[in-house]
Structure 1
Amino acid sequence: MDSNIEKIGKYSVSYFNKIEFRNLKKEIFKEEIYNLDIDTNKTKELKIIDVGAYIGLSILYFKSRYPNAHIIAFEPNPNIFPLLEENIEYNNIKNVKLHNVAIGKESKKRKLYIESSGFAAFSTASFRKDAWNGKQKSRP
């Protein structure tokens, strides 16, 4: 699947789906849905856990606001994870650890069902086989 590139401030961001990207960009950077009401003098101690990091827009937002924060990010979708890695590496973002796994109450392997229409939306992966209508493929 081919990706597109767009600038957000000083960052270059690769993405697959233009409509979804623009909606997330608006929510995260314009509406600031992840704004933390904290003392910026204490951001050296700030630790952020990002569960469902997708392509890394939230990480870029947090790093633009809190450059010294340490971030641990999880993205289970193996089709999306390489783009997340690319966005973090290309923009030379430091103090971020990326994990291509899901978070759950048990440590076990599960099948991840990925919507296969090519839409590549963040909400189109699930551990439930029939979570939405449409064609699905499973990944171990």
Structure 2
Amino acid sequence: MAADGPGPREVIAALVGEGAEILPGPPALEVPEASADTVIAAARRLALRALPRERRRQDRSGLPALTPDPDPDPGLRRVAAVLFVDEHPSAPAWSAADRDRLAAWVAVLIEQRGEDGVQDLIAVLGGRPTEG
């Protein structure tokens, strides 16, 4: 990108900050409709797998313990909400609380794996194998 123009972070921040207009048409994500619980569980599973071992709580068997909802960076949470949650075809049927929980887990996934994490989530939801 040219040095005199805004970078990707600035563009995304501007879109999130302005509350980009919701346009009619099909959702941007090519995934099947699903319940909020199903999508949250998939995002949570991938996010926990992406966390470094020292940041994971573990139960007695060594598996990730059930954890409360994460508290990711607020900016990443807004990006996750705008670019993933709002674009899911089932999102209009989900509660605000479910949408917020999903945004939190997707934000953790973005924090840990970036676009690769989001692409893995889309693959999992679409029934395709993941790269990571």
TM-score normalised per structure 2 = 0.24
TM-score normalised per structure 1 = 0.23
Which structure has more relative contact order (CA 8 Å, sep 6+)? It is 2
Q: Which has the higher strand share?
A: 1
Q: Which has the higher helix share?
A: 2
